[in-house]
Amino acid sequence: MRHLTFFLFFFYRFSLRNMRKHPWRVLSVLAGIAIGAAVFTSVRLANHAALVSFENSMNQITGTADLVVTSPGGKVPDHLVANLLSDHRVRAAAPVLSAYVNAADRSADPFLLIGIDPLLDRGVRQWQSGDPGTDHSPAWLDLLRIPFGLMMTRSLAEDFGLAAGDRIRIEHAQQKAVFKLTGRLLPQGLAMAEGGRLAITDIATFQEFTGLYGAVDRIDIVLNAHAGPPDADGLKRLLPDSVELVPPSGAKESGRFMIRAYQINLSVLSFASLFVGMFLIYSLVALNATARRRELAILRSMGGSPRLLLGLFMAEGFFLGTVGWLAAVPLGSFLVKFMVTGISRTVTNLFVRVQVDDLTLGIGELALSFGITVIISGLAALVPAIRAMHVMPGEIFSRTGISTAAHRQTVRLAIAGLSLMLLVWPLCLLPGFHGIPVSGYGAVVCLLLGFSLAAPWGLQQAGRRLAPILRRIGAQPAELACRYIGDSGMRTAVSVGALITAVALFTALVIMVHSFRNTVDLWVNQTVSGDLFIAPKLGELNRHRDFLTPATVDYLKTLAPIADLLPLRRIHLLEKNIRYQIEAMDFETFHRHGRFFWVKGNFKKTNAALIAGQGVIVSEVYAARTGRGVGDRFQARIQTVRLDLPILGIVRDYRTRGGVVFMSLAHLTRKTALAKTSPESTWTGLRLYLKGTDTDTTGAAMALRREILENSQDTLNVILGAQLRGAILNIFDDTFAVTFVLLFIALVIATLGLATTLTVLVLERTKQLNTLAAVGAAPGQIRAMILWEAFILVTVGEIMGLACGFLLSYLLVHVINYQSFGWSFMYRVDWTLLGLSVPLIMGTAFVAAFPAVRLAFGLPPAQLLRETG
C-alpha cells in the first residue's frame, strides 16, 4: 500500500503537473478519445437495445411454450387443440393467430393484432388488463362476451386517444371492421412485445375478421413437468402429416443471426474511431517521453528504476483513457438516441421488425466500453513507455531531447508491415465462423497495421526524394520541411498512421457503397421489373400469408388485353433456423420483360427446365446460408407437399430477410392441388407489364392504378414499379447513413491527431525555430515551413491511405459482406467522390497547422533563447 501511495503521489507531481502546463495539448487528445469512446459506446448500446427489443418481443409472444405446432407454408387446423389437451403429456395448449393491421382512417404505423383463446392462453403467456370489465368482471371476459372486442396496450391506446369502451376501425387485407376497446393491457408480459404496439382479441373474432375459419397460425404447447424428449417424439406421432412439432426458438434464432451480422459489422466500424484515437495517446505520451528525456535521465541517476519510468508513462495512458471515457459518457448519451433511431430503422428495413421502446444503460455494455477504451489507451502508451524505461543516466549531459534511435527502426517496421500485408491474402481464403467473418476482420487489422507500420519508411522516403523537387516550388522553407519530415519519421508517423486508417476506411466504404448501390440499381431495374405491383394490404409485413381473393383474381385477369400478367406466390419457410422464401412465378412471362442477375448458370440454358418445373434457381444468400449450389438438390416441405428439385443456377437477390428460391408457379400449383392443400386462389401478388405504352408508361400506369383501387374496395396495395424501385434504393441509401456518420467522426479524430503532431513538432523545435528567427528568417518563412510540413504529412497519409483503402475495399466487397450477409457486388469505384475527398482532406492540413503556427511565435526569440541557453 505504501508503494502505491508513493507512486500515485509521484505520478501527480511528475505527470499530472506537466499536463497542467500544456492544457490544450491534453484537451485535444481527450477530445479525440472522448469522441471515439462515445461513438463506440453509443453504437454498442443501440445495437444491444435493438437485439434485446427483438428477443424480448419473441420471448413474450412465445411465452413459456416448450413446443410449437406449425404447418410449413400453411395453417394449422384448430381442432388439434382438443386432441393435444387430452394427452397426459400436455399441460397447456394455446392456439394463436397474428397479423399486422392498420387503424383505418388514421395515419399511424401498423400494429400487431394477436388472436388468442383468453382461457387457454393463461397457461402460456402473461398479460393483464388494468381496466375493469363490464359488471365489474375481469376485462378479459369481455373479449369472449363482446363481439369484436379487443384489448390494447396502454401506450397504443394513448397514441390513438382511446379509453375503455371506445371504438376503432381496423383494416386487414380481407376487410375492415369496427372493434370495441374492452380494456388496456398493463405494461408487463405480452404487452411489452413489439415496443408496446400490440392488441389482443378473441381467436374466434380474429378468424371472423380475417376469414380464417377453423385455422390458426400455430399452437403453443407447455409440457408437464415430468415430460421429456421421448414424450415430445410421442406427440409427433399424434399429429397429421401436414403439421410439424418444433421448438419455439427457430424464428428467434434466425432473426438474431441476421441482426448480429449487421451489429458486428457496425461495431467494428465504430471501433475504428477508438482505434484512431489510440494514435493520439501514443503521440502525446511519446512527446512527453521525448521532451522530458533529460528529466528521466536525472531520475535514473537519482535511483529511479526502469519500472518506475515504465509505470509513469503507462499510467499516463490509462489516465487519459479513463478521463476520456468519463467525458464520453454524456456525449454518448446524446449520440445513442440518434444511433438507436438509425440502427433500428435499418434492422427493420433489412432484416426483422424491431420496436425499441426503452433504452437502458446496461452495466455490461458500459463495462465493456470502459475496459476496451482503457486497454487501448494503455497499449497506445506501451511503446513510448518502454522507450522511456531505457533512458540511461548518462543522457543527463545530452543537450538534445530528440532521440535518433527511431531512425534505425524504420526499415524493420516497414518489413514487419509488409509481412502483415502478406498475411491478408491467406486470411481472405478462410471461411467465416458461424456467419461471422472472423478471418476477414483479421485481414482488415493486418492491412491497417501493416500500412501504419510502413508509415515511418514512407515519410523517410518522401522527405529525401521530394526535397529537391519542393525546393524549386517553395524555396528553402519547403526543402527544410521536407528534410525535417524525413528525419523525424517515427514521431510524425503516429499521426500519419491515424490519417492512413481514416482515409483507408473512407476510401473503402465509398467504393463498397458505390459498388453496392450500382449493383442493387442494376438488380432493381432488371429483376424487380414491372409497371404495377399488386398485393393484399400489408402483404409484405405479414410475410405474404394472405392470398388475393378469387373475385380480385377474376377482375385482374380481365386486364390481360392491356397488360401482361405475372402472378406470384410467395411462401416463407424456416429450415434449421435459416429463414427463406419460395417465389413461384411464370418464368416465360418474366423472361419477356426482365431477367435475373446471374452468378452461376444461364437463363437460356435452364429456361425450358424452369418453365416445366424441372428445377429451381436460388439466390446467392440462400446458397451462402445453406451451402447448396448448382447441381445440389433443393428439398422442402409445404404442408403435405414434398419438393425435391435440382438447383439449376444461383442469382443475385438483395431481399435481406433471408434467401429466395425461384420455381415454376404452375408446377407448385399442380403439386399443392393434388395434395389438396391449395386455396381457391394461389396468388399472393401480381406484376403488370403494360402493353403499347412506350410514350407515357407512367401516366398509363397511374390511371390503371386508380381503376384497380376503385374496383378492389381498398383491400389492395397497388404501387407503381418506378416508385417501388425508388423505395428499394432509398432503403439501401438509408442503410449507410449511420456508416458515413461514423466515418466522418473518424476523420475528425484523425484531424485532431494531425494538429497534435504538428504542435508536438513545433514544441520540440521551439529553440531551433526561434534561432532561425533570430538569425534573420522571416516569420512568413517559418510559417510556410510548418505549412509545408503539414502538406507533406497529409500527402503521404492520403497516398498510403488511398492504397490501403483500395485493398480494404476488396475485403469489404468480396469477403466480409459475403461472409456476413451472403451478398456479392460488382466492384465499382466512385472516382468523383474520391476525387472530391482529396482537396477536402488536404484542406485539413492547413486547418491543423494553424495552432502549431501560433505556438511557433509564443515568445520573442531573444527571450526564449536567453531562457534556454
CA 304 – CA 310 distance, rounded (Å) = 11
Bin 137: left if φ > 0, else alpha if -120 < ψ < 50, else beta: beta
Contact 216, 74 (CB under 8 A): no
Closest alpha carbon to 122 in 143, 93, 97, 148: 93
The DSSP result for 329-392, as a single string, is HHHHHHHHHHHHHHHHHHHHHHT-----------HHHHHHHHHHHHHHHHHHHHHHHHHHHT--
Closest alpha carbon to 280 in 502, 498, 40: 498
Instruction: Find how far residue 602's CA is from the centre of its chain.
Output: 33
Cell of 608: 425450358
Q: Indicate the SS3 state at residue 243.
A: coil
Cell of 496: 500519419
CA 119 – CA 138 distance, rounded (Å) = 12
Q: Exposed/middle/buried for 502, CB within 10 Å: 0-12, 13-18, 19+? A: buried
Query: What pLDDT is attached to residue 507?
Result: 85
Cell of 42: 453509443
Alpha-carbon distance values, 198 to 154, 161, 263, 358, 654 (Å): 9, 15, 26, 16, 30
Q: Please, what's the largest Cα pairwise distance for the chain? A: 104
Contact 646, 631 (CB under 8 A): yes
The DSSP result for 280-335, as a single string, is HHHHHHHHHHHHTHHHHHHHHHTT--HHHHHHHHHHHHHHHHHHHHHHHHHHHHHH
Name the strand (E) or helix (H) holding 25: helix 23-62
Q: Where are the domains of the chain?
A: 1-63+257-403, 64-247, 409-529+728-869, 532-692
Closest alpha carbon to 143 in 186, 98, 200: 200
Q: What is the dihedral of CA 317, 318, 323, 327, to 10 degrees?
A: 90
Contact 647, 630 (CB under 8 A): yes
CA 211 – CA 230 distance, rounded (Å) = 37
CA 532 – CA 52 distance, rounded (Å) = 38
Beta bridge partners of 651: 598, 619
CA 87 – CA 76 distance, rounded (Å) = 18
Q: What residue type is 728 in one-letter code?
A: I
Contact 853, 775 (CB under 8 A): no
Bin 195: left if φ > 0, else alpha if -120 < ψ < 50, else beta: left
CA 714 – CA 706 distance, rounded (Å) = 11
Across the chain, which has 869 residues, the per-10-residue mean pLDDT values are 77 83 78 80 78 78 88 90 89 93 82 93 86 70 88 91 90 87 88 87 93 91 79 79 83 68 71 70 75 78 82 89 88 77 71 66 76 87 81 59 54 87 90 78 89 85 80 80 72 70 82 87 90 91 88 91 93 85 93 91 85 93 89 91 93 81 92 70 90 76 90 86 87 70 65 64 65 72 78 83 90 85 85 78 66 60 47
Q: Alpha-carbon torsion 127, 130, 131, 137, what sign?
A: positive
Instruction: Find how far residue 702's CA is from the centre of its chain.
Output: 36
CA 344 – CA 355 distance, rounded (Å) = 7
CA 175 – CA 106 distance, rounded (Å) = 16
CA triple 528-654-699, angle to 5 deg: 25
Query: What pLDDT is attached to residue 455?
Result: 85
Query: What pLDDT is attached to residue 865?
Result: 46
Contact 139, 131 (CB under 8 A): yes
Place of cell 388496456: 184
Contact 786, 794 (CB under 8 A): no
Closest alpha carbon to 434 in 258, 653, 623: 258
Q: What residue type is 121 in one-letter code?
A: D
